Chain A
């Protein structure tokens, strides 16, 4: 297995770990962190794809992801702080207003 493949599968693994974390964690902060993790994994996969195909599309896309993630995080942390202020908890099981 060469380096590129390692990068690709490693990134994929991180994506999956991140998604599983998003699904299984109950704390909203952890969920956000796992989400960041999976986005990082996505970036790795993008870079690996870029190397594999010998172009820069993947690399450029990974930078866009960075920016979007940073902006998203800025808003997400704010929402998080407001939730703590309002509900005094970060446990997602208490946030079930979508329940049908």
Chain B
């Protein structure tokens, strides 16, 4: 068994210890166990990467063996999965450390850490999987961990139902994912990533099958990565603890869909009918997410919609065949969004649970370090030059602009508008929270422990650093993903100029609005484009009506109850017929005797 399995199973050990004996342990030892195992994994991964390249496939056992389909429980470490593992374990470990203070004093401290470790295990399984089925275990597992953590404070009804919502919406996507696996297994007789990618590039692969499987896998990605129209669960997922939102619903789990598509990008490059769909859905999600984020007042929901929007950016990039920029944006976004979430968490913690940005203000003086971290995260998100966010966002925009299709100009314009909106809402949030205002409460702040500040600062620095030096260029060579686009000459100047001027304009407007307190907000945005309404009014009410009218009255009464009653009637009917034999009437007995006698006589005479 290779070290890869050790790296994978360390968090599982942490989950088991905390899950089984956590309630009997002290809070400190729970925290120690919860943090030790992810850190152990991280160190082992770093060590192995440093001393030797241990890329390759390691097989634990053969899982399924049919005539022409063999599925191993195998892990694969290559450049892509190594990068993702570092994101997962690096950000994951920092968030574990942060959580030790954030969750301090919670009744279910051990449960929290066991869930968090469980999440890391499944996420690593998803990332390191060598075939789609192993990935699917991780895929389902992170969904489970996400559900458990969203509804972590399950005593509040709202939290529990948010968890259920996330689970159900994800389930829709997962069906798509599973169907995609089936189609691939059916058509290629393999679900191994490398073999699928190789088979998809050959000439005799059916284009219909490729498109169909790509479409279904994309539906799965839509569910997990909160794309239109399955994005509704992510904002509600913010009812979970804030570190969870940072880890699962911003940095790692929600990027699983993008990771999966990048893993299968040779397949997707052949799926010429699906790629435009991905691009359009990604762009629309980016735009709608950014629009809704502009009117949210809950700081976590602003960030949640921002995540939806940024994930849309990544999908737009995938859709135009820019796999590396999508991966780069995933990488940078993981850092700066985790920074934003963690510093938002620190703010919420300091303000005794206050999440409304309109009730905050003047925190710059009170929490200077946190302000710096949030500022760095915001600058990255807004795409200010010299930050990592700028590089990845410009890369996406330039690739979209240079894409050869006719619709790519429209997409570029929409994405530019999204960039401006992003700059607007994040700077608005920043101004409201940190600049002096009369709304800020005078209550003394909750002290922020060092263990909470450290990860925030570390992530803030990392989110700047990953964009510096030659890291992006190095990553491009390192990942070596297929390229289909050559960037047009004029894009190098045109796109940054446009996006920067638009963003600067947006930031200026945000400043004016927050200073002058002008509130011009379309209702459609406040209602989040009526998606929840739409689902409530159209889907749920139809479903309810269907349940009430059809299931309850017809199916329940006419079929199920009718079946049960008819069974009863059948039994009663037959037993009544049987009891007729012994009805107590002598005459009836006499008749029976006579009939038997006649039969006997007939038999006696004629046989």
Contact = CB atoms under 8 A, between A and B. Distances in A.
Interface of A: 19, 22-25, 31, 92-93, 95-100
A96 B587 contact: no
B442 to A, nearest CB: 89
A96 B594 CA distance: 20
Given A19-B590, A25-B587, A100-B583, 19 more contacts: A22-B587, A23-B587, A23-B590, A23-B591, A23-B594, A24-B587, A31-B587, A92-B585, A92-B586, A93-B585, A95-B584, A95-B586, A96-B585, A98-B582, A98-B586, A98-B589, A99-B584, A100-B582, A100-B584
Interface of B: 579, 581-587, 589-591, 594
Contacts of B585: 92-93, 96
B584 A97 contact: yes
Contact of B594 (A19, A31, A95, A99): A19
Given A19-B594, A23-B594, A92 B587 contact: yes
Nearest to B581: A100
B113 to A, nearest CB: 70
Contacts of A96: 583-585
17 contacts: A19-B590, A19-B594, A22-B587, A23-B591, A23-B594, A31-B587, A92-B585, A92-B587, A93-B585, A96-B584, A98-B582, A99-B582, A99-B584, A100-B579, A100-B581, A100-B582, A100-B583
A31 B583 CA distance: 18
**Which 5 pairs of residues, A with B, have the shortest CB-CB distance?**
A99-B584, A96-B584, A100-B582, A98-B584, A23-B591
A23 B590 CA distance: 7
A31 B594 CA distance: 16
A25 B586 CA distance: 11
Nearest to A96: B584
Nearest to B594: A19
A22 B583 contact: no
B582 A22 contact: no
Contacts of B591: 23
A42 to B, nearest CB: 14
A95 B581 CA distance: 16
A31 B586 CA distance: 11
A7 B519 CA distance: 121
A24 to B, nearest CB: 8
Contacts of A98: 582, 584, 586, 589
A95 B589 CA distance: 13
A22 B584 contact: no
Nearest to B583: A99
Contacts of A100: 579, 581-584
A23 B584 CA distance: 13
A8 B590 CA distance: 24
A49 B585 CA distance: 34
A24 B591 CA distance: 9
Nearest to A99: B584
A22 B586 CA distance: 10
B312 to A, nearest CB: 78
A23 B592 CA distance: 10
Which one of B581, B585, B590 has the highest number of Cβ atoms from chain A below 10 Å of its Cβ? B585
A69 B594 CA distance: 21
Nearest to A16: B594
Contacts of A92: 585-587
A64 to B, nearest CB: 22
Nearest to B579: A100
A25 B587 CA distance: 9
A24 B588 CA distance: 9
A7 B582 CA distance: 37
Contacts of A25: 587
Which one of B579, B583, B584, B589 has the highest number of Cβ atoms from chain A below 10 Å of its Cβ? B584
A99 B582 CA distance: 6
